[in-house]
């Protein structure tokens, strides 16, 4: 089955190479499907080996166990990582980095996505996690979202109107393979200028040069998790190589050599202190992968796409 796959197939690939936190043990099988056939073979292989199949994008929202994953991990590439422009529309593969899509669109005088510039994500990851800024999400620009069910059949979510694909919920275990977006035609210089401005503001507020992941905690209703972390005095707190960012307190950065234990220790410290001092229960936003269900945080079992 693996011999039929055109894309790269690696064994015991360190997932720390594929996560923005630079943490994560080896994936038993790591496959980079180049097209839909490759992806279907990967699904069939996982089924045959009775292993879960896990899809990752840019790895920007993941804390992966140092023990690694007894799983088939796929990362979409090839034609599943490219964009094709036609008029004001673009058909884009889920493996394409969001930043590359925004840059390519800007070069063609197509705007509308500038406010998403800076969010580190693949297109598939952005759709699956509903990545957003205060101004909206990629979903609202979608006129169609394409995905593959665990049995390898194709699914499609058609979207229309001003809310686009915002109502989209990925069926359990499915993999987003691409989408169609409606963009705005504007002078290329104006789009580039808006983009540069966005990136400048973004860089001023994020710990950019450091290895980090997305927000650790969901914002509780009516409040911001970052404010709570600051209130209990844990901004800048460090456990070995892991540190709560002093620039954005809802981020944890890997200052070098951090393990999943270090990150979990910081998370447990925050969770416990916010609960006892402020009476608020924080829930993780970051996806924990490769940890037993229910451990260490009740809200996030290992819940990525399973091929069964």
Ligand X SMILES: Cc1cc2nc3c(=O)[nH]c(=O)nc-3n(C[C@H](O)[C@H](O)[C@H](O)COP(=O)(O)OP(=O)(O)OC[C@H]3O[C@@H](n4cnc5c(N)ncnc54)[C@H](O)[C@@H]3O)c2cc1C
Q: How far is the CB of 212 from ligand X (least distance, A)?
A: 5
DSSP string, 103-172: HHHHHTTEES-GGGTT---BHHHHHHHT-EETTEEGGGGEEEEEEE-TTS-EEEEE--STTTTTT--PPT
Does 60 bind ligand X (CB under 6 A)? Our answer is yes
For ligand X, give the closer residue by CB, 76 or 229.
Answer: 76
* Residue from 15, 39, 55, 90 binding ligand X (CB under 6 A): 55
Q: Which is nearer to ligand X, 61 or 182 (CB)?
A: 61
* Nearer to ligand X among residue 60 and residue 182 (C-beta): 60
Question: Which residue, 252 or 273, is less far from ligand X as judged by CB?
Answer: 252
Length of the chain: 308
CA 34, distance to chain mean position in Å, is 19
Virtual torsion, Cα 101, 106, 109, 115, nearest 10 deg: 100
Nearest to 128 by CA among 96, 176, 80, 178: 176
Instruction: State the nearest-atom distance from the C-beta of 114 to ligand X, in Å.
Output: 14
Q: Kindly give the interhelix angle for 188-205 and 98-107, rounded to the nearest 10 degrees.
A: 150
Q: Which lies closer to ligand X via its Cβ, residue 5 or residue 273?
A: 5
Selected range binding ligand X among 185-193, 212-220, 227-235, 274-282, rule: CB under 6 A:
212-220
Minimum distance of ligand X from residue 18's CB (angstroms): 8
Per CB under 6 A, does 250 bind ligand X? no
**Pairwise CA distance, residues 61 & 167, whole Å:** 21
- Judged by CB under 6 A, does residue 213 bind ligand X? yes
Residues 72-91, interacting with ligand X (CB under 6 A): 76
Does 39 engage in binding with ligand X (CB under 6 A)? no
Mask for 101-140, x = binds ligand X (CB under 6 A): ------------------xxxx-xxx-xx-xxx-------
Two tokens, residue 56: 């990752």
Check binding of 287 to ligand X (CB under 6 A).
yes
Site for ligand X in 180-209 (CB under 6 A): 206
Min dist CB 176 to ligand X, Å, is 4
Strand partners, 93: 178
Instruction: Please state, in angstroms and as integers, the Cα–Cα distance from residue 195 to each residue in 99, 105, 192, following that order.
Output: 10, 11, 5
* Cα 104 to Cα 135: distance, rounded to the nearest angstrom: 21
Residue 253 lies near ligand X (rule: CB under 6 A) = no
- Decide: 57 and 120 in contact? Cβ < 8 Å: no
- Paired with 90 in beta bridges are 85, 181
Comparing CB distances to ligand X, the nearer of 20 and 77 is 20
Size of the site for ligand X (CB under 6 A): 32
- From 96, 102, 282, 304, residue interacting with ligand X (rule: CB under 6 A): 304
Residues lying near ligand X in the complex (CB under 6 A) are found at: 20, 55-62, 76, 94, 119-122, 124-126, 128-129, 131-133, 170, 175-176, 206, 212-214, 287, 304
């Amino acid at each position: 089955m693996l011999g039929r796959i055109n894309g790269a197939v690696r064994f015991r690939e360190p997932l720390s190479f594929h996560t923005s936190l630079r943490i994560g043990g080896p994936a038993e099988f790591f496959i980079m499907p180049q097209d839909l056939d490759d992806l279907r073979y990967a699904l069939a292989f996982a089924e045959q080996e009775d292993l879960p199949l896990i899809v990752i994008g840019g790895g920007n929202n993941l804390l992966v166990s140092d023990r690694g994953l007894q799983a088939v991990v796929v990362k979409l590439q090839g034609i599943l990582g490219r964009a094709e422009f036609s008029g004001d529309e673009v058909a884009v593969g889920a493996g394409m980095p969001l930043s590359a899509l925004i840059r390519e669109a800007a070069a063609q005088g197509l705007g509308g996505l500038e406010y998403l510039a800076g969010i580190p994500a693949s297109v598939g990851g952005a759709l699956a996690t509903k990545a957003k800024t205060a101004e909206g999400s990629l979903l609202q620009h979608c006129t169609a979202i394409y995905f593959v069910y665990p049995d390898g059949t194709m699914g499609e979510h058609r979207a229309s109107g001003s809310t686009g694909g915002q109502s989209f919920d990925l069926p359990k275990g499915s993999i987003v393979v691409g989408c169609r977006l409606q963009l705005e035609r504007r002078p290329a210089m104006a789009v580039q200028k808006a983009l540069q401005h966005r990136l400048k503001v973004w860089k001023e507020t994020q710990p950019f040069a450091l290895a980090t992941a997305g927000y650790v905690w969901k914002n509780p209703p009516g409040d911001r998790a970052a404010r709570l972390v600051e209130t209990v005095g844990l901004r800048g707190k460090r456990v070995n190589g892991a540190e709560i960012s002093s620039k954005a307190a809802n981020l944890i950065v890997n200052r070098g050599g951090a393990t999943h234990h270090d990150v979990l220790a910081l998370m447990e410290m925050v969770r416990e202190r916010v609960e006892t001092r402020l009476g608020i229960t924080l829930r993780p936003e970051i996806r924990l992968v490769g940890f037993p269900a229910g451990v260490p945080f009740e809200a996030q079992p290992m819940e990525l796409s399973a091929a069964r």
